[in-house]
Structures are given as structure tokens and as C-alpha cells.
Amino acid sequence: MTHGHLWDRLAEAKSRLAPVQSKYRVLFEDPNAPDEPAKVLVPDPNFMAAALAGNVLPAIDTYLRDRDVPDGEPKEHPYAEPIGAMSEEEAIEYLVQKDIDPAVWRDYQGNRTIMKIVPVEMIPSDRSFRNAWRIMQ
Amino acid sequence: MSTLNVSNISDGTTTVGTSYVVNGSAKAWMHYNQDTTTINQSFNTSSVTDVAAGEAKYTYSSALDAANYCLQVSGKTDDNNTDSTGNRVWVRPFGSTATTGSSFTTDSGGTERDCKILCHTTWGDLA
């Protein structure tokens, strides 16, 4: 194994790559908690830099398989071989699968739109009624 | 990338094992503005989710080995160095898993508050 642990690759990448602030946010609602407000996923600038550069992050499948691995058991994603560069859109799709519950992006079969990838400008700057945010249908 | 393989580090007087340095390092950290949903600085986090007023959830790029690691969070609602009412908030961790850590902020009256400066640091063993 020559690619090392993911944490070491992230540390090396952070020392080499300039952070990239994404132009996008992911708005989503939890279908299992319909009374909760819409949530906003913010991509990490160092994660985006690593995704766009390539040869740092493992394949998304490894994270998905690790969801079923109990605490304390060996995980696959830290030791998996890194994959190549992604576009910004591909990186956001990767993040959706990695950081959002599959109940939102894979399993939901209702009629409401419960997830949207939107430009950052579309997120309201006025947070007075933050707990009333919903995705417009 | 070059790799330096050493078992111990010494300043000439005191010697410690490299494992002490690695195990004692923060495994993830983030400096986040919840008002603008902007991550200013970070390491080993892939995203933060603005869950609700006062509530944020961080997701790690390289997961911890179990949920019982140490997550320290702090923050303030005013971006200044005064002892303003807005800076007297409770920021507390809750609901951590091996892949995520969450924080919740309220003022002294129990009302949820968004932080202009919200920091989290994670210590523990990596998966």
C-alpha cells in the first residue's frame, strides 16, 4: 500500500492546495422529520480543493459500505485507493451521497421536492425565521 | 510526498514517542460562520450542515473509529471581542457519531442563537 491513510493525504493536500469555496449549497428536508426546517449543506473548501485536484479522496462506494460497519470495526474508506479529479458538480454529488442520509437522496418516493442544489445566493441572508425554512415547491 | 519514519522525537533533553504526537493531535477542526453559512478554515471535514437556528452538524472526511471521542465546541454570536450579551451563549456538543459531530447554541434565556464564529475541534482515534 503506497497511498497511505486518508487523514495523512488530507493533511498533505491542505498544505499544497488553495481552498475552494463552492458556488453551491444543498438544501434538503428530512422525510422522517417533516416538521423540521429545511437544512443547508455547506461544502468544505478543503474538501472541494481535494476533490477538484484528485488523488486524495476514496471512491464514494467505500463510504457507503462503511455506513453499515459498526463502531470499532475496521473501515474501508481511510485505506482505499484515491480516485481522480472531479468537476465541481461531481464533487457536490459525491458530498450528497456521503453526507446526507440515503432516505433523502435515494429512498424518498413522495411527491414533494425534498432536495435541491442551489447557488449560494439563493440561501436567505435573513435568518429571523430560520426554523420556518422550507423548500419552495 | 516524502515520509520521515521515526519512532521518537527529541529536543536534545526530552524524548517522546512519535505516537504521542500523532495521537495527541486534533483529528478535525472547523471555523464556521453560521450567519453566512461560510466555512472559513478547517481540516478533515467534508461539509457542515446548517440544521436549524443554533444547530450545526459537521461531517468528517476521515471518520473516527467510534462515537465516544472528544468534541470541543465554542462560539459567539457577535464577531467582536466584547463581553456583549450576544457573546454570552452556551455552545454545547451533542449527538456525535463516528462520522459527524453536532453543536447547539442558545443564549442565557434558552433561545437558539446563530454564531458568527463557531469553532469545533475533535480529538480521538481515527478509523
pLDDT more than 70, % of chain B: 99
ipTM for the assembly: 0.95
DSSP A127: -
Choose the closest CB to B62 out of A10, A37, A71.
A10
B127 vs chain A: nearest CA distance in angstroms? 6
What's the rounded Cα separation, in Å, for the pair A127 and B33? 13
> How far is the alpha carbon of B103 from chain A, nearest alpha carbon, in Å?
15
Q: Which residues constitute the domain of residue B103? A: 26-123
Residue B3 lies in a domain: no
Say if the Cβ atoms of B46 and A47 lie within 8 Å: yes
Q: pLDDT tens digit string along A18-74?
A: 999 999 999 999 999 999 999 999 999 999 999 999 999 999 999 999 999 999 999
> Is residue B109 in some structural domain?
yes
Asked whether residue B18 is domain-assigned, the answer is: no
- Asked whether the beta carbons of residue A6 and residue B61 sit closer than 8 angstroms, the reply is yes
pLDDT classification of B71: cutoffs 50, 70, 90: very high
What pLDDT does B88 receive? Answer: 86
Mean of the pLDDT values across residues B42-66?
A: 97
* Residue A31 in grid coordinates: 422525510
Q: What does the domain layout of chain A look like in residue ranges? A: 6-132
pLDDT digits 0-9 by tens, A99-136: 999 999 999 999 999 999 999 999 999 999 999 999 99
In the predicted structure, residue B106 carries a pLDDT above the cut 60: yes
How many Cβ atoms sit within 10 Å of the Cβ of residue A77? 23
* Number of domains into which chain B is organized: 1
Cα separation, B70 vs A56, in Å, equals 26
Q: Which helix (H) or strand (E) holds A9?
A: helix A6-16
Contact A133, A124 (CB under 8 A): yes
Whether the pLDDT of residue A1 is over 60: the answer is no
* Orientation angle between helical segments A45-53 and A6-16, nearest 10 degrees: 90
Predicted TM-score (pTM) of the model is: 0.92
Comparing CB atoms, the residue among B37, B43, B98 nearest residue A40 is B37
Q: Do B43 and A36 touch (CB under 8 A)?
A: no
Record: contact B52-A5, CB cut-off 8 A: no
The Cα–Cα gap between A121 and A34 comes to: 25
Query: Can you give the pLDDT at residue B23?
Result: 77
